[in-house]
Amino acid sequence: MATSQPLSMGTATLFIQTLMQEWIKKFISHLEGRCLSPHTISNYRRDLIKASDFYQQQSITQWHEITPTHIRHLIVTLHSKGLNGRSLQRQLSVLRTFFGYLLKNGEIKNNPATGIKAPKAAHKLPKVLNTEQTSQLLDKEPTDDLSIRDFAIMELLYSSGLRVAELTQLDLEDIDLDDATVRVTGKGGKIRIVPVGRFAIKAIQSWLVVRSTLIKKDETAFFVGRRGARLTTRAVQLRLKEWGVKQQLSVPLHPHMLRHSFASHLLESSGQIRAVQELLGHADISSTQIYTHLDFQHLASVYDKTHPRAKKKKTNS
């Protein structure tokens, strides 16, 4: 009768990987069925494999063996290797979601990641353009169709504080030139109405002429590429980076910098932090609880009086 042989190190490693990674594969398939973005799914996969590799080194062979102490050990180890607070928070969020999936499927009895907090992420001050840099970027006359579109994009980002994803999601019907407003669909599908300054209105009017020559049949997107299809966030990012270099800005330009500049310049002029927060459409509870009671007329008044590119020119009587 043959006697059983002990597993070699290579075989043991394969055994561990099979047990732990099988659940990772099932979970990733579950996420794909929820139609999450490839980038989000890739982040989940990477963070879970990072965790499984760590626990394999601790001779842990199955997910149900992991306790809150093991979770804390992982976070402390990653922190000691230089992972910042934001990344650690994401790692914990991924683990909580994954263990919630295991709990729902009967693989574990308790979620070991519940209640564990990561070190707080350092709050970096957002980089903004000063008013001189803003003028350096925007006080130019566009010379071709794409630059007309790009200037409309930059003026709208700075005029109204939009996120780049909000900008690329805009449809033609979202812009009201008569009322000088834009209807924005923010995070969580929350809709807000934001004023549009006169410089942005002028740039948009020029773009509408060009847009009519580019759009494909039945295209609803407000901003489109040279082939007439909706512009992507990546395309906007690349174009703005190019404009920053072309206009010889001393800092790399990206869409969110114009949003930050909008907020900074408006706040410096008005001191109306609640109005600025409302115009930005912040989604976190601590912000929205404060600002949801402000009505749009007040916001529009603050905007018209203080935003440097919303002020109306004085006419001689």
Please identify every residue annotated as catalytic. Answer: 163, 187, 256, 259, 282, 291
Specify whether the CB–CB gap between 151 and 138 falls below 8 A: yes
Cβ neighbour number for residue 187 with a 10 Å cutoff? 12
Among the listed residues 57, 80, 86, the one whose alpha carbon sits nearest the alpha carbon of residue 72: 80
Secondary structure letter of residue 116 according to DSSP: -
Specify whether the backbone of 182 is left (phi greater than 0), alpha (psi in -120 to 50) or beta: beta
75-92: burial string, b at 16+ Cβ within 10 Å, e else? beebbeeebeeeebbbbb
Residue in the block written with tokens 């306790």? 67
Is residue 186 classed as helix, strand or coil in its secondary structure?
Answer: coil
Whether residue 219 contacts residue 228, with contact meaning beta carbons closer than 8 Å, is answered with yes
Cβ-contact 310, 197 below 8 angstroms: yes
Our measurement of the distance from residue 257's CA atom to the centroid of its chain's CA atoms, rounded to an integer in Å, reads 13
Q: Residue 228 — left, alpha, or beta (φ > 0 → left; ψ -120 to 50 → alpha)?
A: left
98 near 110, Cβ under 8 Å?
Answer: no
Q: What are phi and psi of 106, to 5 degrees?
A: 75, 10
